[in-house]
Amino acid sequence: MIQYSEYLGYVAAILTTIAFIPQVILVYKTKDTRSISLPMFILFCAGLLCWALYGILLFKIPIITANVVTLSLSGYILYMKLIEKKRLSRKQ
């Protein structure tokens, strides 16, 4: 039962990590982040940073890896959102 749940944990971690790849591709192609929430990505990136530090404190490589990868992907989306916000505020 433990082994089965371990596999499920890995599947879960892989899915919630790779989920951000299509969002990164969409933002990269369209440069459109209008319907993406800035506070969401600020909170999410802060949370992922805490998860990565948590993994470092516990010396758990899967926690560190999954969160550093997701943080890189989410960080790119946050960066693009901030660029758009800056561009829109200049226009006004």
Q: Site residues (CB under 8 A) for its own copies?
A: 1, 4-5, 8-9, 11-23, 25-27, 30, 32-41, 43-44, 46-48, 50-51, 53-54, 57-58
Check: CB of residue 38 under 8 Å from CB of residue 85: yes
Check: CB of residue 71 under 8 Å from CB of residue 17: no
Q: Between 39 and 90, whose beta carbon lies closer to its own copies?
A: 39
User: Which candidate, 92, 89, 82, 75, places its Cα nearest to that of 33?
Assistant: 82
Provide the minimum distance between the beta carbon of 82 and its own copies in the complex, in angstroms, as a whole number: 14
Q: Between 40 and 89, whose beta carbon lies closer to its own copies?
A: 40
Provide the minimum distance between the beta carbon of 73 and its own copies in the complex, in angstroms, as a whole number: 10
Check: CB of residue 75 under 8 Å from CB of residue 45: yes
Provide the minimum distance between the beta carbon of 83 and its own copies in the complex, in angstroms, as a whole number: 13
